[in-house]
Amino acid sequence: MTGFVEGKVAIVTGGGGAIGRAISLLLAAEGAKVVVNDIGGTVYGTGERDMSPAETTVAMIREAGGEAIANGDSVSSWESAQRIVQAAADTWGTVDLVVNNAGIIREASFHKITPEDFRAVIDVHLMGSFYVSRAAAPFMRRQESGAFVHMTSTAGLIGGKGMSNYAAAKMGIVGLSRSIAFDLGYFGVRSNAVAPSAFSRMIEATPNPTPEIRARMERRQNSTRPEHVAPLVVFLLSDAAREVNGQIFGARGNEVYLYNQPRPVRALQRSDGWTPAALAERLVPSWRAAFTPPEKTADVFSWEPL
């Protein structure tokens, strides 16, 4: 019996970390050849580069009988992203699957965040997803097959405090994924986004956690593991998901779910047009019940995962 992604060549950025490692291991177990990309360093994108996380993942794959190579190029520049994809092509001739998982955090309230910290997160999450996807696109276009999975987040889809840079990047990734689905779908290439919920170094790095947050983190360490995210990602990359394109999914413990996407939900029409006064009179009373409140992720996901 062959694996779900047998013979495919995959790139997993951030493949040395918790979620990235789980995805890399499952891809290899299901027959893919994997470029494990990770620069090491801290979750803040600082510190010395360290190949050991990527190399550890590769060693685990090889020990289990799979094929993998480690790559330490950054996703945050056009040139280095080209090298990541070229590493796959040089080793196995092409690239079939891309998981844009690399990320950093720089948390601060919006009135305190610096342009440097805002840009650093955008560069890794959003620009990194673009650079690596764009570098891989010509290979997929020529062979008329391929699949992308991009990691988004409830921080953008729903909201959270002190994460304007992260939220902006993650919502940008949703638009990027949707655009790739349109532009490359004609050539048999698919693109989907996943909002993962799993205990990781980024969760551990939450600054100044309250006792309530700390208790929730401890529960999540057991109930939302990286291994819960990997099956959904591998399925979306496989030919079994050939009909799935341009969608947003979530994985949280033993739950998987599909997110809706922005569509008009209410409309008002006025034959002689609108003035600010007319809108003030009609809009809020008519639509108040349909407004989406500024909730945090924990408000929306109010139940504990199984």
Residue 145, number of CB atoms within 10 A of its CB: 18
Residue partners of 289: CB distance under 8 A and separation at least 6: none
* Residue 303: closest CA among 228, 229, 250, 253: 253
Distance between CA atoms of residues 193 and 233, nearest Å: 9
Catalytic residues: 166
The residue type at 194: V
Closest Cα partner for 160 from 202, 127, 131, 219? 202
CB 96 within 8 A of CB 140: yes
Phi, psi of 151 (to 5 degrees): -85, 115
Q: Which neighbouring-strand residues pair with 250?
A: 195, 257
